[in-house]
Chains A and B, each alone.
Chain A
Amino acid sequence: MSSSTTQVDRRVFLKTGLAGATGLVLGFYLPGASTALADATAAPAAAAVLNAWVRVAPDDIVTIIISKSEMGQGVMTSLSMLAVEELECDWKNVRTEFAPADKVYIDPVFGMQGTGGSQSIHSGWEPMRRAGATAREMLIAAAAQKWGVAASECHAENGAVLHAATNRRATFGSLAEAASKLPVPADVKLKDPSQFRLIGKPTQRLDTPIKVNGRAGFGIDVRRPGMLHAVVLRCPVFGGKVASFDATKAKAVPGVKDVVQISSGIAVVADNTWNAMQGRNALAVKWDEGPNAALSSDTIRKQFGRKVKAADLNVNAVKAGRDYAAATLVKADPFAIERMDKNQGKIIIDGNSAFGRRGVSDFVGDAVETSKAMKAPVQVTWSREDDMQHDYYRPTSYIHLSAGLGADGWPVAFTARIACDSVMSWFFPGTITNGLDTSSTEGVSDIAYDIPNILVDYQLVKSPIPLGFWRSVGASQNGFFSESFIDELAAAAKKDPYEFRRHLLAKSPRHLAVLNLAAEKAGWGNPLPKGVYRGIAMLRSFSTYVAEVAEVAVDSSKGRLKVQRVVCAVDCGRPVNPAVIEQQVMGAVIYGLTAGLKSEITIDKGRVVQTNFDDNPVVRMNEAPVVEVHIIQSTEGPTGMGEPAVPPVTPAVCNAIFAATGKRIRRLPVRTQDWT
């Protein structure tokens, strides 16, 4: 999702009674926050609500309620740090709890309760600190009242309120009950950043211990009394449906309880997952394959390729005109198969990685419908094959780029014509105005280079392939396009690709700073071992600036390339938890490399050809480069890190391939024949 900035003000705090909670519970409520996204989804204009909760128990345990899904991005730790920075409790006493579904947890930027768009820290930055500060002030007020002194004479420190003049001290736990009965202060003062003792310090994740002993509960681990297990057979062709089926053999498989038709296909329900899978193998189904039965990658390629050529682009002194294609679809691979169960009308969703796949909730429907039919809790498991073939993919995108260079070699004009399928039309069609889906153009339309004439043209091209918010969305392919093409221009101008960018970013200090930092840390210009080459790329996405230098060992004669080292520089505003930022960058590099170098979804006869990790491989340990992360010590407001380090890695690698071979990669994923 593209990020937008919401001014978080006019905040009203509410005291809220959470069932069963003792001590102090605080939440707050923001009236009137709305955004383009919220408007477009016709969310009620009145009250968008942002949550943040602090609970202080009598035993001094502080529970921070986390309104975002922890998907590995470290958000339960980072959001807790924001609240605790102001609350002044002992970090060792911090616990977290995930927020239930409730209006109070609606994200004001999205206009709904959700996690994504590299948005959590940006949205939580002020409200979470304010929640901590408000709780602290109430605890101080309770202590002052108890001691009959002025609140202004007291301060909070390390989980207790102190009155220095009389040397008195009371723990938060002992004050919580009284504090919860006091009025909520209308306004509280937040710390000056120079006073931060937690924000900005690498902080260990709160969720690590349960993730090293098998105790972390994922959706697939939910167990309920009387729970049954199911798998669903879906029509392999997009848009197809069940014509008829014979379940006799499936029902004869030991352990199979029933076979029921649901909207997405045929659910086979059994006493365990494996028996359900055996039952599914025994199903005899006739499909109505629908209108897409002849669809193939080839027809899609032609459809999109034609569009970028449909108009002639006339730019003065055109020296370079290039077609690029991220022709292929890429899938998200959530690493836990989505599994839900339905229990007394409550849908339980537990955290695992998602990378965009859980922006869609089709799997919830499977579980709800099957549970209803069975009148019992049913856990529906998606096998890897189910997920590979019934995903919501990164869209097909083609681009034609051209530019004119002046006599001095600096670009005077830049044009782009993008033909891209539209993610937003699947989710938020209301955000598309005059046929423009900005998620298809982000990363090109906002090109930072100082070029006097820029024209970006876009055609929304539809295919029947389901689309989703793949990690970094439009910036993923558009970063490849724009950063490869800038490299082409540098080569055409016979200038060093780093110096070329540097010159064109002179008026964009934050872009320039990450570019310089990455180049400096990578030792740009220093000699490399024989057979190793460098490439550089830089992109701002989700309001975060990232530059990456890739060192790639290239052996054309053997058709071998290995990405050895990737040096990353990031400016995500004020870094909240540098340890988590580093993890996100490392992960994003691996994720980007998988899509750039290995993973491709192709379509034949209306269905996805790939089935599992054998024919849709991902980067493994032996292919993983060393990733170095350098963080700009910015004082700007923090922005997200879940996605922005994905886009630069592929163009950085492709630019290194060009440096090695003179061959320009214009299609993803990189194929050996394109550079040998």
Chain B
Amino acid sequence: MVIRFTLNGKSQSVDVNPSMPLLWVLRDTLNMTGTKFGCGMALCGCCTVHINGEAMRSCVMPISAVGGKKVTTIEGLSADHGHPVQQAWIEMDVPQCGYCQSGQIMSAAGLLAKEPNPTDDDIDDAMQNICRCGTYQNIRKAIHRAAELQAAAPAPGAGGNTEASPSASGTVTGGAE
């Protein structure tokens, strides 16, 4: 079944089993491996992407439910680390192994889009992502820092391509059967 959606600002169509989770479409069909697999059960947050601007877990999101929607992955969050969350992450040297960090960053960006000045409690609520390396303290600091950066320079479309219109050209068709 052919499903069309917007991926990082470009229109995308894939022809896959409609119940295949978005995570595997991204990783295996489209070879966009920035989004990670950690549990497959919406428990860890590794696979977090934005769907219509909302941070969601792609491992339990059937591709059929994504039709017509706007999907932003870590690869599309910014060109060249420009998103305030990425900048703060670099400034605070957040990642250790880095495996969970795509999901952490997408969750944090989702939080800041909704709540530009989150409290520690907001962070506890929104950041349910697991980090086995234990980077939580630096994630918390970096979210506060990202809020400052975002306030200082509210770039148009901060929050990445989530808000961008699908005007960009170039349709890529997934290589599934």
Q: Hey, which bits of chain A sit against chain B, CB under 8 A? A: 71-74, 204-205, 207-218, 220-221, 223, 229, 254-255, 271-275, 333-337, 351-353, 355, 381, 383-384, 579, 583, 586-591, 612-614, 618-622, 624, 626-627
Contacts and interface: CB of A to CB of B under 8 A. Distances in A.
A352 B74 contact: no
A74 to B, nearest CB: 7
B140 A621 contact: yes
Nearest to B91: A204
Nearest to A205: B93
Given A208-B95, A335-B38, A586-B138, A274 B20 contact: yes
A351 B140 CA distance: 25
Contact of B27 (A273, A579, A586, A626): A273
B18 to A, nearest CB: 12
Given A353-B97, A579-B93, A624 B176 contact: no
B136 A621 contact: yes
B132 A223 contact: no
B98 A72 contact: yes
Given A213-B86, A218-B99, A271-B176, A614 B41 contact: yes
A212 B21 contact: no
A612 B24 contact: no
B134 A213 contact: no
Nearest to A388: B39
Contacts of A627: 137
Contacts of A254: 17, 177
B76 to A, nearest CB: 9
A216 B74 CA distance: 12
A212 B100 contact: no
B40 A212 contact: no
A137 B75 CA distance: 43
A613 B97 contact: no
30 contacts: A71-B97, A72-B95, A208-B89, A208-B94, A209-B90, A212-B89, A212-B94, A212-B101, A213-B78, A214-B35, A217-B33, A255-B17, A274-B20, A274-B28, A337-B38, A353-B99, A384-B39, A384-B44, A583-B135, A586-B138, A587-B134, A591-B132, A612-B40, A613-B43, A613-B44, A619-B134, A621-B124, A621-B127, A621-B136, A622-B125
Max count, chain A CB within 10 A of own CB: residue among B78, B100, B131: B131
B62 to A, nearest CB: 10
Contacts of B40: 383-384, 612
Given A272-B24, A621-B124, A211 B101 contact: yes
B33 A214 contact: yes
Most chain A beta-carbon contacts within 10 A, residue among B39, B74, B127: B39
Interface residues of B, number: 60
Contacts of A588: 134
- The secondary-structure label for the interface of chain A is loop
Interface string B10-30: 000000010011001001110
A86 to B, nearest CB: 24
Contact of A352 (B20, B99, B102): B99
A301 B14 CA distance: 53
Given A204-B93, A207-B95, A614-B41, A586 B73 contact: no
A223 B27 CA distance: 10
Given A72-B97, A591-B134, 15 more contacts: A72-B133, A205-B93, A208-B93, A255-B177, A273-B37, A274-B24, A336-B97, A353-B96, A353-B99, A353-B133, A384-B41, A590-B133, A612-B41, A613-B43, A621-B129
Contacts, number: 172
B85 to A, nearest CB: 8
Contact of A275 (B17, B31, B128): B17
Interface string B133-170: 11111111000000000000000000000000000000
A464 B75 CA distance: 45
A353 B140 CA distance: 21
Contacts of B28: 229, 271-274
B34 interface: yes
Contacts of A614: 41, 43
A432 B93 CA distance: 41
A252 to B, nearest CB: 14
Interface class of chain B by DSSP:
loop
B77 interface: yes
Contacts of B20: 272, 274-275
B138 A337 contact: no
Nearest to B92: A208
Given A335-B97, A583-B93, A624 B21 contact: no
Return the 9 tightest CB-CB contacts between A and B, nearest first.
A214-B34, A590-B134, A72-B97, A211-B98, A72-B96, A587-B134, A353-B97, A214-B74, A272-B28
A387 to B, nearest CB: 10
Contacts of A274: 17, 20-21, 24, 28
B61 interface: no
Counting chain A CB atoms within 10 Å of each CB, the highest count among B34, B130, B177 belongs to: B130
Interface in B42-94: 43-44, 46, 73-75, 77-78, 81, 86, 89-90, 93-94
Contacts of A229: 28
A216 B105 CA distance: 14
B36 interface: yes
B3 interface: no
B136 A624 contact: yes
Contacts of B177: 254-255, 271
Contact of A73 (B17, B27, B96, B99): B96
B73 A333 contact: no
Contacts of B98: 72, 207, 210-211, 216, 218, 352
B123 interface: yes
Contact of B34 (A71, A213, A271, A589): A213
A221 B33 contact: yes
A73 B97 CA distance: 7
B20 to A, nearest CB: 5
A351 B97 contact: yes
Contact of B96 (A215, A587, A612): A587
Contacts of B97: 71-72, 335-336, 351-353
Given A208-B93, A612-B41, A335 B99 contact: yes
Contact of A273 (B24, B96, B176): B24
Contacts of B133: 72, 335, 353, 587, 590
Nearest to A589: B134
A272 B176 contact: yes
Given A255-B177, A336-B99, A621-B140, A223 B94 contact: no
A670 B80 CA distance: 45
A432 B32 CA distance: 47
Contacts of A626: 137
B95 A211 contact: yes
Interface string B102-126: 1001000000000000000001110
A271 B77 CA distance: 28
Contacts of A586: 134-135, 137-138
A72 B101 CA distance: 12
A579 B124 CA distance: 25
Contact of B136 (A205, A334, A384, A620): A620
A353 B43 contact: no
B99 A620 contact: no
Contacts of B41: 384, 612-614
Contacts of A73: 96
A614 B129 CA distance: 13
A448 to B, nearest CB: 27
Given A272-B29, A618-B130, A74 B89 contact: no
A550 to B, nearest CB: 15
Contacts of A74: 96
